[in-house]
Chains A and B, each alone.
With several copies, the nearest count.
Chain A
Amino acid sequence: MMESRNNKQQPDLWEEDVRQSPEMLVVDVDGFEGPLDLLLDLARAQKVDLAKISVLALAEQYLLFIERHRTLKLELAGDYLVMAAWLAYLKSRLLLPEPTEDDDTIGEELAAALAVRLQRLEAMRKASSLLMNRDRLGRDIFARGEPEIRIERKSAYQATLYDLLSAYARLGRRSAQSVVHVTKRAVWSLGEAREALLRMMGDVAEWTPMTVFLSPYLVTAQIRRTVMASGFGASLELAREGKLELRQSWTFGPLMIRTPASGHDRGATNG
């Protein structure tokens, strides 16, 4: 995702342009904006309070959906596959709740956290529509059209950090004669792996096998290596930065990861 932007106006920002963006065409699975959006839609189909949804059923529906699209050979963005991997794992935990002595993960807890995430997203959706439907200046209500202010030439100059940074960036661009790099998505970059891990693991306090993220959902024949390598690399990097904890109980044993928590014993961070 590091390709440089050669035009300032992004094509997919405004409503009418959404469909034209090639990036969105990949991400946009049947009009969904990301895996959580898809999950939310599936959850709504259960027609119960989001707090009471069956996460197990939801996981199954999601996996089914992903399977269907995979057989259609649609290119699915990494986010969807990471979620699929995660849900496959969650499903297994929910079906076979037998925590090992090392692994205190509780399936129900993860499921509940997922439900809360869905509620939170739904709440923001509602908030967004409340906001957009307010009486808006210049659309529903109007200010004085002909202000009668005799402006004295006393100016308060106004600049934002953004102006400052943009100016700085502009300088660099001018002298660097910037080269446009267009990266293809054939590789799962370290950066992507990192972001995906952060996003998915952001709220998981339990020791979770790393392989969850490198499951078959993620690894198609073409990108197997890059996913394995980047995923592993990214987890090491995150561990080094203290954003993730790693644990491996025996040589070649499953690599477990979790979010560091102040209350937890700091897990060994040997990779």
Chain B
Amino acid sequence: MAEQGIVHLFPKGAGEAPAVEPQLRALEAILFASSEPVSEAELQGRLPEGSNCSELLGALEQLYADRGVNLTKVAKGWAFRTSPDLAHLMAREVVEQRRLSRAAQEMLAIIAYHQPVTRTEIEEIRGVATSRGTLDLLIEIGWVRICGRRQAPGRPVTYGTNDAFLEHFSLDRVSDLPGIDELAASGLLEKTVAPVLQRDDDETPADDEGDDEKLDRIYLDTDIEAEAGG
């Protein structure tokens, strides 16, 4: 029953002493966590004094030869790489989580709190012209939908949030959105907000467009930049 952990589980060439074990473990961890290939010189420096680095690398390489992950030597040094025959599995990795740009966050907030709301009203509240792409993006994500039309000259389209929005934000209904006052009271937000954002506030100045837009651009996330530009 002298099953020496890795000696047993990870087969290797005959004649190797079990004393190599801790050094192999160390090597394994270092190579795994490093964000780029590690040179042999650096590995030697990080391993315990007296380790024979190239011998260890050879052993590790052999150990992982048939695995889903292989130890490979690349230009800059050594690195673990998934086995080439499994490359097809790598392509289907997780969807990337991306944050909304500030502009998109703001627009979503306005739509959520003021729905149904028209595009012109959104722009009035934001005080800047809205790039078409931002609204499109919110619709594409599936959080914003067209609600209907305002009974007003031009019968503009109104926007609101939908079920996917509620689900994403774990809300039962729109009225469950946290109130500004409440959040301000809990110290999460500054309390200088409320009055400007009432809908009857029709004369919100939409001038200074140019300047604010420029500011916006600075804060825009790159992805939205692309969206907005296109």
Interface residues of A (CB under 8 A from B): 1-2, 4-5, 8-10, 12-18, 21, 23-24, 27, 33-37, 39, 79, 83, 104, 106, 108-109, 112-113, 115-117, 119-121, 123-128, 130-132, 134-176, 178-179, 195, 198-199, 202-206, 241-243, 259-264
How far is A159 from B223 in the complex, measured between Cα atoms in Å? 15
Q: Say if the beta carbon of B6 comes within 8 Å of chain A.
A: no
Identify which of A17, A108, A151, A179 gathers the most chain B CB atoms within 10 Å of its CB. A151
A172 near B101 with CB under 8 A, answer no
Instruction: Spot the interface stretch: B10-18, B43-51, B52-60, B203-211.
Output: B203-211
With contact pairs A4-B192, A138-B95, A165-B180 given, residues A160 and B197 touching in the complex (Cβ less than 8 Å) = no
B167 near A137 with CB under 8 A, answer yes
How far is A171 from B123 in the complex, measured between Cα atoms in Å? 11
How far is A136 from B82 in the complex, measured between Cα atoms in Å? 11
How far is A31 from B134 in the complex, measured between Cα atoms in Å? 18
Chain B neighbourhood of A34, CB < 8 A: 126-129
Chain A neighbourhood of B100, CB < 8 A: 13-15, 132, 157-159, 163
8 Å CB interface, B190-212 against A: 190-197, 199, 201, 203-209, 211-212
Compute the total of residue contacts between A and B using a CB distance below 8 Å.
371
A15 near B102 with CB under 8 A, answer yes
With contact pairs A152-B91, A203-B193 given, residues A162 and B146 touching in the complex (Cβ less than 8 Å) = yes
Q: Which of B35, B94, B154, B196 contacts A176 (CB 8 A)?
A: B196
Shortest B102–chain A CB gap in Å is 7
How far is A157 from B193 in the complex, measured between Cα atoms in Å? 26
* Besides A13-B134, A175-B196, 12 new A-B residue pairs in contact (Cβ under 8 A), listed by A number: A10-B134, A10-B136, A12-B131, A132-B100, A137-B170, A155-B95, A169-B183, A172-B193, A179-B192, A199-B128, A262-B208, A262-B209
With contact pairs A2-B191, A141-B170 given, residues A146 and B36 touching in the complex (Cβ less than 8 Å) = yes
Give the bracket for the number of chain B residues in contact with chain A. 35 or more
How far is A143 from B131 in the complex, measured between Cα atoms in Å? 34
With contact pairs A15-B100, A127-B177, A141-B170 given, residues A165 and B197 touching in the complex (Cβ less than 8 Å) = no
Chain B residue nearest in CB terms to A174: B127
B120 near A136 with CB under 8 A, answer no
Chain A neighbourhood of B177, CB < 8 A: 127, 131, 161, 164
* 6 CB-based A-B contacts, threshold 8 Å: A112-B196, A117-B125, A143-B81, A158-B97, A160-B139, A163-B100
Which 9 pairs across A and B sit closest by C-beta, in order of nearness? A263-B204, A34-B128, A36-B127, A205-B206, A10-B133, A172-B193, A128-B109, A167-B105, A142-B33
8 Å CB interface, B83-141 against A: 83-84, 87, 90-106, 108-110, 112-113, 120, 123-129, 131-134, 136-137, 139, 141
With contact pairs A14-B99, A155-B223, A159-B105 given, residues A145 and B129 touching in the complex (Cβ less than 8 Å) = no
B109 near A167 with CB under 8 A, answer yes
Q: Say if the beta carbon of B34 comes within 8 Å of chain A.
A: yes
Chain B neighbourhood of A126, CB < 8 A: 179
A145 near B93 with CB under 8 A, answer yes
Q: Which of B126, B137, B167 contacts A36 (CB 8 A)?
A: B126
How far is A140 from B84 in the complex, measured between Cα atoms in Å? 6
Q: Which of A79, A157, A169 contacts B128 (CB 8 A)?
A: A79
Shortest B54–chain A CB gap in Å is 22
Q: Which of A150, A156, A198 contacts B91 (CB 8 A)?
A: A150
Chain B residue nearest in CB terms to A203: B193
Chain A residue nearest in CB terms to B190: A4
Chain A neighbourhood of B199, CB < 8 A: 106, 109
Q: Which of A15, A108, A115, A144 contacts B34 (CB 8 A)?
A: A144
Chain B residue nearest in CB terms to A82: B127
With contact pairs A137-B168, A147-B35, A162-B146 given, residues A37 and B192 touching in the complex (Cβ less than 8 Å) = no
